[in-house]
Structure 1
Amino acid sequence: MADAHPTPPQPSPGRLEALASLERRVLWLAVRIVDYANRERPKGDDLKVGGHQASSASMATLLTALYLADLRAEDRVSVKPHASPLLHALEYLLGRLDRSYLTRLRDFGGLQSYPSRTKDPFPVDYSTGSVGLGSAAPLFGALADRYVETHFGSSTGGRFISLLGDAELDEGNVWEALAEPLARRLGNVLWIVDLNRQSLDRVIPGIRAAELEAQFRANGWEVIELKYGRRLRAAFERDGGELLRRRIDEMPNEAYQALFGAGDEHVLDAVLEPFSGAERDAVAALLADGAGALVRDLGGHDLADVLGALRRARATRDRPTVLFAYTIKGYGLEIAGRPQNHSALLSAEQIDRFRAAVGLTPETEWDAFAPETAEGLILAAARARLDRGDRPAAAAVPVPASLETRDTASTSTQAAFGRILLELSRVEGLGERLVTVSPDVAVSTNLGGFVNKTGVWGPEAEPVYDAMEDSPLKWRVDPAGQHVEMGIAEMNLVLMLGQLGLTWDFQRERLIPFGTVYDPFVMRALEGIVYSTYSGSRFVLVGTPSGISLSREGGAHQSLNTPGIGIETPGLSYAEPCYARELEWLLLDGIRRLQDPDGEALYLRLSTRPVDQGPFTAAAARRGEGALRADVVQGGFRLREPGTASDDRVILAACGAIVPEALAAAELLAEEEGVEATVLCLSSPDRLYRGWQAATTAPLRGGDSRAPSHLERLVPAGERGLPVVTVIDGASHALSFLGSALATRCIPLGVDRFGQTGSQPEVYAEYGIDAASIATAALVALEP
């Protein structure tokens, strides 16, 4: 399929020649960076260093044209993970990466395997490596940019660009992103697809390009195709050209790919196979001057065509654009188009031949271009054009120490969250910075009050169609709204949340983004959560309702694994409060922490179970509100003190909705068995564990002594050695670390089988987390 639009005028021959020279040098450096890391640098172990020479080669033309002729400082770019050596080469030639790093690919403290916002030694806009996620993230980055612009008048002013491989289009999250209606009018989005028809293990089967393009068009995208180079297009205009075009168009990817590494005779036979007579003679005449070179003449390697396509893409302002660039994996290398060349490495002899072919020697192989050369002038102009200058830091958002609203005598953490968020929206300086996102669960996660007050965000005001005056929810969409409603796609939710959590960097405007999702579906969104925290994003993720406390919904909606996810995910602080005031303090503290230079995101695991607030009120009166707040934000507090009438004592540690069961178990033990129990409420098992682990390992980092951890302060020396029962409405292992931390016998209780439908008492008893089961576990723990 040829382009539907005429090709824009070509650049001058001299400039095109200089860009071609730069393209060759970029490719050489990318290949040599990988080669040096694998063949010459001492490794320190026997593992393969790895790298992707062929995957870089297929994008060399595209990245050279983009970075050196089209890109602007205000643009933000996501680079295909397996093309990272090209990015390193370009950054070096642009003078933004020290030469010493070229020999430190995949070295400790050196260049990362894949582009990383937080770990590379030069600025990176988007982390990639999780295939498909880094490609889709800029789409939501553009959406976040539009949100910030409509609220604060700030914007990058540029485009959000993804360079991705065609195999990444196998990832479901890419198509979820395309289907998001809010993204369809983003004219500052450009995706460039490296259509080399190869993935890690195989040639992508069938003829998929037309199907892929149709999918993008169906979702409202502008589609540009660079399929054939100028030599092939010229051949199509001659006698027999239409036959040749049809033959190439109809060849399956596997058959066409096999021609790239083949000799002219094999290519000729393959192309002519269906023809006979005069048709065969006409096509054969077109291929007479080099069949292999002609069929390998693809648009993705034609600099002039790529530059023209980039200009066309820049001119499209009313919708996203995708550019399908047909390329050859390994283009310009001796392994071009070879099966399974994805991670193949050139031999020493092949490297020597390639170095000589680009006009370099072992003494000059790492050289950049002299400033006065045509190439040097292009690099200097690109460097100036890409310079973002000094950018002021995002201003800090003030956070109150506490809020005024008090919840009723009995409430759930989910209900309390809705009220706390509504009150936060009234705080001057903070309220306007709040933004909520949900995947069609705003009402059922208690965002209704916030939505009624602030409205729903959309790039343009939408007509109001409902006439239900008695409806408790007022759904009004306009650019001033502060709630972003997305479709039922949890990956879209967390990618959008992640981009809203990076506006402090991209737009230098601080937002406080909240995302709400049913807690079981945190697992569905897990990779996107990890991608966002790995990228340094700061947000609040609310998983609610959670656990088998959601008893009537059954196993499909009862989350078990999510506490472990919260504890184990870097850059994410997990908390599971039981009481409303506990939640308030954790939330206010979390908002402050996410603004710190080394801040992190917050994950709140909440419940719909109403809980009597009296025990917390009593603890505040006993401990003092300030001291109790300090305990809560560090991970836990003493909720119930033991009596003195018995020598038999245990510690019961619980969190979230199951804390009342631990309190009830303590009363059972005292009344029926004469056993006294300390009840610990673990507001954040994650912070409690991290504090203990950091204190315990301090001597390993060079310290001779250490301060006690918060957990050790909660359990003084007189209680060390007492048996511990931990209980959580989730997988039992989440709290089992307390046994090691307190050097004592520990019985962890939790939910380690899929849940069932039933009443809460029935379900709690079935899974052994009811008061009777907790008390029984305590008695077993006390046995000699």
Structure 2
Amino acid sequence: MSQPRTHEPRPDLTTLAEIEQRVLWLATRIIDHANSREKADIKVGGHQASCASMVSIMTALWFGHIDGSDKVAVKPHASPVYHAIKYLTGELDRSYLTTLRQRGGLQAYPSRTKDPDVADFSTGSVGLGAVAPLFSALTRRYTDSHFGEQDRSRFIALVGDAELDEGNVWEAIADPATQGLGNFTMVVDLNRQSLDRVIPDIAATRLKRFFADAGWHVAEAKYGARLTEAFARPGGDALRDRIDGMTNEAYQQLFGLDPADVRKAFLAGADDAVHRIADELDDAALTSLVTDLGGHDHGLLLDSFAECDAEADRPSVVFAYTIKGHGLPMAGDPMNHAALLPPEQIEEFRARLGLDESTEWDRFAPDSDAGRLCRAVGGEINNAPPASRPALPIPAASRRVVQKGSQSTQEAFGRVLASLADIDEVGARIVTTAPDVSISTNLGGWINKRGVYAHTERDDHGGADRLLKWAPGPTGQHIELGISEMNLFMLLGQLGLSHDHHGQHLLPVGTVYDPFVLRGLDALIYGIYNDARFVVAGTPAGVTLAPEGGAHQSTITASVGAELPNLDYSEPAYATEVDWLLCDALQRLGDDDGRSAYLRLSTRPIDQAPFAAALDTMGEERLRAHVLAGGYRLVDAGPDDRPGVTIVTTGVMAPEALEAAAELDAEGVQASVVHLTSPDRVYRSWRAGFAQAVATARVVRAPSHLHRLIPPAERRRPIVSVHDAASHSLAWLGSAVGTRQYTLGVDRFGESGTIADLHEIAGINTGSIVNAALIAVTEDVAPEA
């Protein structure tokens, strides 16, 4: 494997120190300006202290270590530091420096979809950015295995120590799939402070042991060069013991004291050897010595980064000891997290750097050492926009239309994937993943054809050798994870950015038990916010997974799917719908305005005859267009003199809806049945027309797909909706067409039983639909006073 390209020779440390001070100034002033703009209803905010603790690390990293092939996730609260660096290197226009947290300006936290200069990872929800580069490193290992090795890239996460409280970090670190990633380094800003306090016991030793026990290389930048040198002198051991023995609170306090008071506080209770060392120094020199932390020593940081590069076969972590607010008057203050420098301190800082109001935003002079280094870094690291994704020959359907027999949507999903495996240019780009549920979510056929991925050949059959060809190796295309839904969505998100980050367009498909979509919801949102492109199948869904009981029955995931931006949620009932929807979803992954997809599936076998009847009536081309638009009419009962109702259903409730329509017809009530294959697409079609009308003040707007499904003659009829999910999920339909609606759904926690039992308990069985329809038409004739 090719070696990473680094800045050679190592930059002059004096130049790095000069750049660091300018970065600190710009980051501080960016936040100061944002809070000095016209008065807003709420505070603008910003994190000057959190930025200050990261400036040394980020200066060393950008100006002395990384290059254009590397990918870095920046600690959320350090975003102004990142923007300051990008400005000094010529990658960000000066006009953006005064737009932090403003419409059209720099975002509060790094955003690859909203910021003008963030190309790698969005961060913000703490803990997610900490491991996103880890899963990106895994994705690079996968693409190298399948499409040939590229120049080595390094994947780096800059995190705050408090982020290590997030459980998803440890889930990612412990997963076997992330082991051996020698191109990943996590740099922990160990400033011993969280939002509200100095942390009483950061337990750095325990954290280091956790990483080491997970097989990671652990490096430490604890003491700067001056302290390290002092430790080697007579009495140095006592000096080290004195500093190591101080509580976090006591050590942090030193940074807010005058030098004379630092001497008193530091020497109180110290032994004679420490006093002898202190006697040789004046107050200022002693203060500088005992507060010399490794996380602010550029030389030590560069050595630590190089040490991690040398570890080719395991990921690394660097614990960089820093002080929150370093270089600012607020350094070490336990309440400095959201503190802002007052105007007089801003003026003092500006003057100390030799700047004034006319030059405060300037870059370095081009012919200065700092200016030359900034220009060189900007020319080398500047990220070019990715090319458009390639057009793959994804078929409109992978299989012949299924018209008979019974089949579940989960079963159909597995068969479609297995069929797509045989289309070389498509099958080669599909990569599947699951949190230890691949067999139970019907990925077995795909895995038997394409294999399980590992970066080296392994004699590991996973206990499933009688069911699957499980032996992992570099050519496999299924990545099996441990039982962590957060890891599933983090990996899907990075696989879904493979084209942008690694130049290889993948078609990622993940499966998960539907109720546990919610366990990984934060990572799911993170992935689609990053504009990652992937497909996830939540299966089985709803209370129809009856014997499993309430712990495995999902009710609100349909609403989550419909409400998340950049995500197409679908809930098919019939096998061919699954085929069409999945092929369409894979195609959309490559579109310039593409979206991710969520399929909510079931293990309930459903008779395919009603779909065959609709196919005979509509024809394949028209029916497919309706399925992809979000729905079609399963029963087309035109109006006559009898009272009528429109039953709207989705997913596995189609059989009950059809049975209810037949019973109502026998009762003298007309009932059309509208089957929504994607309530999400139907809603967005209706909402788009409405939003356009609002924006243009037009009373008349284009018809939506919902209005095509429910023609004018039927819109005065009441609607009865039924869903194996919360009744609220379809409750918008009546208002959209201007009629009354009666919603049936699952609004209580489930329990074990048969499908019939659970449908009756939830009130979504055939009898409940019939009763709701009879009430609806009765109230339509004789409404309550």
- TM-score tier, shorter chain, comes to over 0.9
Q: Decide whether aligned partners of structure 1 residues 710 and 621 sit closer, same or farther in structure 2, where only a CA change above 3 A counts.
A: same
Q: Decide whether aligned partners of structure 1 residues 685 and 154 sit closer, same or farther in structure 2, where only a CA change above 3 A counts.
A: farther
Letter in 2 for 1:305: L
Aligned pairs (5 A) from 1:253-264: 253-264=248-259
User: How far apart are residue 155 of structure 1 and its match?
Assistant: 3.8
Give the structure 1 partner of residue 560 of structure 2: 565
User: How far apart are residue 316 of structure 1 and its match?
Assistant: 2.2
Give the structure 2 partner of residue 675 of structure 1: 669
Letter in 2 for 1:678: S
Give the structure 2 partner of residue 6 of structure 1: none
Give the structure 1 partner of residue 399 of structure 2: 404
Q: Decide whether aligned partners of structure 1 residues 756 and 390 sit closer, same or farther in structure 2, where only a CA change above 3 A counts.
A: closer
Q: Alignment partner for residue 575 of structure 1, among 570, 573, 582?
A: 570
1:317-360 deviation line (CA, Å, top 9, x unaligned): 12111111100111000111111211111100010011111111
Letter in 2 for 1:329: K
| C-alpha separation in 2, matches of 1:654 and 1:50 | 47
Give the structure 1 partner of residue 447 of structure 2: 451
Give the structure 2 partner of residue 385 of structure 1: 380
Q: Alignment partner for residue 354 of structure 1, among 340, 349, 352?
A: 349
1:7-31 deviation line (CA, Å, top 9, x unaligned): xx9988x821111111100110000
| C-alpha separation in 1, matches of 2:463 and 2:539 | 30
Q: Which moved more, 1:385-394 or 1:582-591?
A: 385-394
1:637-666 deviation line (CA, Å, top 9, x unaligned): 101112666521001101111111111111
Give the structure 1 partner of residue 691 of structure 2: 697
| C-alpha separation in 2, matches of 1:79 and 1:642 | 59
Give the structure 2 partner of residue 20 of structure 1: 17
**Does 2:181 match 1:186?**
yes
**Does 2:30 match 1:33?**
yes
Q: Alignment partner for residue 771 of structure 1, among 760, 766, 772?
A: 766
| C-alpha separation in 1, matches of 2:19 and 2:278 | 35
Q: Decide whether aligned partners of structure 1 residues 744 and 645 sit closer, same or farther in structure 2, where only a CA change above 3 A counts.
A: closer
Give the structure 2 partner of residue 152 of structure 1: 147
Give the structure 1 partner of residue 213 of structure 2: 218
| C-alpha separation in 2, matches of 1:342 and 1:156 | 40
User: How far apart are residue 255 of structure 1 and its match?
Assistant: 2.4
Task: Tell me if the contact between 2:639 and 2:713 (Cα under 8 Å) persists in the aligned partners.
Answer: no
Task: Tell me if the contact between 1:118 and 1:536 (Cα under 8 Å) persists in the aligned partners.
Answer: yes
SS at match of 2:12: helix
| C-alpha separation in 2, matches of 1:281 and 1:223 | 33
| C-alpha separation in 2, matches of 1:104 and 1:281 | 51
| C-alpha separation in 1, matches of 2:393 and 2:8 | 53
| C-alpha separation in 1, matches of 2:454 and 2:608 | 39
| C-alpha separation in 2, matches of 1:728 and 1:468 | 36
Q: Decide whether aligned partners of structure 1 residues 201 and 326 sit closer, same or farther in structure 2, where only a CA change above 3 A counts.
A: same
Give the structure 2 partner of residue 247 of structure 1: 242
Q: Decide whether aligned partners of structure 1 residues 592 and 70 sit closer, same or farther in structure 2, where only a CA change above 3 A counts.
A: same
For this pair of structures, how many residues does the alignment match?
770
User: How far apart are residue 282 of structure 1 and its match?
Assistant: 3.5
| C-alpha separation in 2, matches of 1:254 and 1:295 | 15
User: How far apart are residue 465 of structure 1 and its match?
Assistant: 5.7
**Does 2:457 match 1:461?**
yes
Letter in 1 for 2:581: L
Letter in 2 for 1:413: T
Task: Tell me if the contact between 2:511 and 2:537 (Cα under 8 Å) persists in the aligned partners.
Answer: yes
Give the structure 2 partner of residue 418 of structure 1: 414
Task: Tell me if the contact between 2:461 and 2:470 (Cα under 8 Å) persists in the aligned partners.
Answer: no
User: How far apart are residue 250 of structure 1 and its match?
Assistant: 2.4
Q: Which moved more, 1:225-234 or 1:431-440?
A: 225-234
| C-alpha separation in 2, matches of 1:616 and 1:570 | 30
User: How far apart are residue 46 of structure 1 and its match?
Assistant: 1.9
| C-alpha separation in 2, matches of 1:166 and 1:394 | 37
User: How far apart are residue 715 of structure 1 and its match?
Assistant: 0.8
User: How far apart are residue 259 of structure 1 and its match?
Assistant: 2.0
User: How far apart are residue 674 of structure 1 and its match?
Assistant: 0.8
Task: Tell me if the contact between 1:646 and 1:674 (Cα under 8 Å) persists in the aligned partners.
Answer: no
Aligned pairs (5 A) from 1:151-550: 151-153=146-148, 155=150, 157-275=152-270, 278-279=272-273, 281-282=275-276, 284-285=278-279, 288-290=282-284, 291-388=286-383, 392-407=387-402, 409-464=405-460, 471-550=466-545
| C-alpha separation in 2, matches of 1:207 and 1:37 | 32
Task: Tell me if the contact between 1:207 and 1:251 (Cα under 8 Å) persists in the aligned partners.
Answer: no
SS at match of 2:255: coil
Structure 2: tracts of 5 or more residues without a match:
1-6
Task: Tell me if the contact between 2:399 and 2:579 (Cα under 8 Å) persists in the aligned partners.
Answer: no
Letter in 2 for 1:454: R
Q: Alignment partner for residue 658 of structure 2, among 655, 663, 675?
A: 663
User: How far apart are residue 263 of structure 1 and its match?
Assistant: 2.7
Task: Tell me if the contact between 1:235 and 1:286 (Cα under 8 Å) persists in the aligned partners.
Answer: no
1:48-104 deviation line (CA, Å, top 9, x unaligned): 111111111101111111111211111011011100001111111111111010011
Letter in 1 for 2:688: A
Structure 1: tracts of 5 or more residues without a match:
1-8
**Does 2:715 match 1:720?**
yes
RMSD of aligned residue pairs (Cα, Å)? 1.9
| C-alpha separation in 1, matches of 2:44 and 2:608 | 57
Letter in 1 for 2:170: W
User: How far apart are residue 128 of structure 1 and its match?
Assistant: 0.3
Normalised by the length of structure 1, the TM-score is 0.95
SS at match of 1:259: helix
Q: Decide whether aligned partners of structure 1 residues 370 and 768 sit closer, same or farther in structure 2, where only a CA change above 3 A counts.
A: same
Letter in 2 for 1:419: R
| C-alpha separation in 2, matches of 1:521 and 1:528 | 12
**Does 2:742 match 1:747?**
yes
User: How far apart are residue 271 of structure 1 and its match?
Assistant: 3.0
Task: Tell me if the contact between 1:272 and 1:283 (Cα under 8 Å) persists in the aligned partners.
Answer: no
Letter in 2 for 1:724: I
Task: Tell me if the contact between 1:575 and 1:683 (Cα under 8 Å) persists in the aligned partners.
Answer: yes
Task: Tell me if the contact between 1:329 and 1:336 (Cα under 8 Å) persists in the aligned partners.
Answer: yes
| C-alpha separation in 2, matches of 1:177 and 1:513 | 19
Give me the identity figure in percent: 52
Task: Tell me if the contact between 2:649 and 2:674 (Cα under 8 Å) persists in the aligned partners.
Answer: yes
User: How far apart are residue 286 of structure 1 and its match?
Assistant: 6.3
SS at match of 1:223: strand
User: How far apart are residue 283 of structure 1 and its match?
Assistant: 5.7
**Does 2:754 match 1:759?**
yes
User: How far apart are residue 466 of structure 1 and its match?
Assistant: 7.9
User: How far apart are residue 211 of structure 1 and its match?
Assistant: 1.1
| C-alpha separation in 2, matches of 1:269 and 1:461 | 62
Letter in 1 for 2:679: P
Give the structure 2 partner of residue 113 of structure 1: 108
SS at match of 1:638: strand
